[in-house]
Amino acid sequence: MVSLSARLLASLLRGWRESTSAPAYTALADRIRLLILDGRIPLGTRIPAERDLAAQLGVSRTTVTAGYGELRESGYLDSIRGSGSVARLPARAPVSIDNVHAGYLDFSKAVMPAIPAIGEAAQRAALELPAYLGDSGFDPIGLPALRAAIADRYTARGLPTEPEQVMVTIGAQHAIALLARTLLARSDSALVESPSYPHAYEALRLTGARLVPVSVTTDDGWDEAGLEQAIQRTSPAMGYLMPDFHNPTGRSMSPDLKQRMLALARAQGTTIIADETMAELAIDEGEAPLPLAAYGPAVLIGSVGKTVWGGVRIGWIRAERQLIQRLTRARSAGDLGTPALEQLLVKNLFDQYDSILETRRMQLREGRDYLTKALAGAFPDWCVPHVAGGLTAWVNIGAPVSSQLTLAARNEGLLLAAGPRFGIDGAFERFLRIPFGYSQDETDRAVTALSAAWASLSRGPLLDQNFLAEVV
């Protein structure tokens, strides 16, 4: 069973009392509940003893005991004799899979609805499937036809690629996890951006690696000096980066920084992994970015989850042949291959991929502009950056209350991912990631719910006008 130390939980709870007038034990319970709901405290994790957390937070043990008691009563903690208190979700009657968040508008995911072409592509794939039924069906590397289509796509984007350099995976997250457990050993260092994709943090931590963060901001992009120092001083075994339309900030590395970063990584023996799941989702007109491996040695991850539909679980890894062979040998410890039918479906979409991307760019351009205007009208003091690509805006809300605002929004029927979800040890309470791949009606509903949630916080001690004048 995984245990959470009192020190680490205290860092995740930073600011838990400052943004509410509720009793201390209620505020503590609310914040821990949010940490469980958005995954910062994984289910099944043993949380610290009451005495230890009270000492770390500088509060009475009675406060922590009452907070834990409220969480137990609401079903978010289990007390197990000899094992302490363990995080869980409240028991509920069985529900259908598409009704898990019934009544909620879910803006916690950066996604778009499925493209209409999926249905036809699936029908064609079903007709092609009989030709593959004589095989075992266990496919650890990918169907040759799909690998060739992916290789041709990279070549067309300016990076000559052979099918032998491609492995098909069960989505991008599967690719990240497979690369992490293949390239990292316990006590290795892994370079990451901060903020970044939270499930990548989780995959890297599961290997026992130590995360070395490098700052990315909406104003300045990457901390270039910090990036160079992190590579030179820690010699990380692996680096996980999103160099184009970074999630959540939307920033992209300059070609010069890409070249310098890859040269430093090569000198230190660091394998750079580039998550390019959003790399082709440019919104504004301009030249499409080259794949990172066009600038130097890098392993690339791609997926159709953001461009086609999240329900099509197909991703891929583009790497040198030796690494692809190594990944193939390591893969059976986690899974036995990618489903053939979904591979055929995606293969049938690649001949119209440029048209799909153009449609997505138009949708995202409209969504970004609509969200920016809606937020400016409802929250004139918030800082909403101009985003050139990707699916999200990394919004500075002007006060360190992102987690509290997320809880308040949930009460209004809106699910959001709090800023600290994308950081390490509780950072980014001043930020909120808001996706813009939703319809105008959904965006209007989200902004209305967010306005009500913000108003409910305005009665708290942090959000008076004098405070906002200081922090905006």
The residue type at 242: M
Question: What is the rounded distance in angstroms from the CA atom of residue 15 to the CA atom of residue 11?
Answer: 9
- Verify cis geometry, omega within 30 degrees of 0, for the bond prior to 163: no
Q: One-letter amino acid identity for 361?
A: R
pLDDT (0 to 100) of residue 102:
62
Q: How far is 445 from 413, CA to CA, in rounded Å?
A: 10
The list of the chain residues with pLDDT below 70 reads 1, 19-20, 81-83, 91-102, 425-426, 459-472
pLDDT tens digits for 169-181? Answer: 999 999 999 999 9
Whole-model pTM over 0.85: no
Residues found in the chain: 472
Do β-strands 238-241 and 189-194 pair in parallel, antiparallel, or remain unpaired? parallel
Contact 227, 261 (CB under 8 A): yes
Bridge partner list, 396: 383, 431
Hey, which residues does 87 pair with through a beta bridge?
A: 77
**Rounded CA gap, 231 and 417, in Å?**
30
Chain segment 318-377, per-residue pLDDT in tens: 999 999 999 999 999 889 999 999 999 999 999 999 999 999 999 999 999 999 999 999
Residues 386-401 pLDDT 10s = 999 999 999 999 988 8
- Relative to beta strand 189-194, strand 166-169 is unpaired
Distance CA 307, CA 310 (A): 8
Determine what percent of the chain is predicted with pLDDT higher than 70. 93
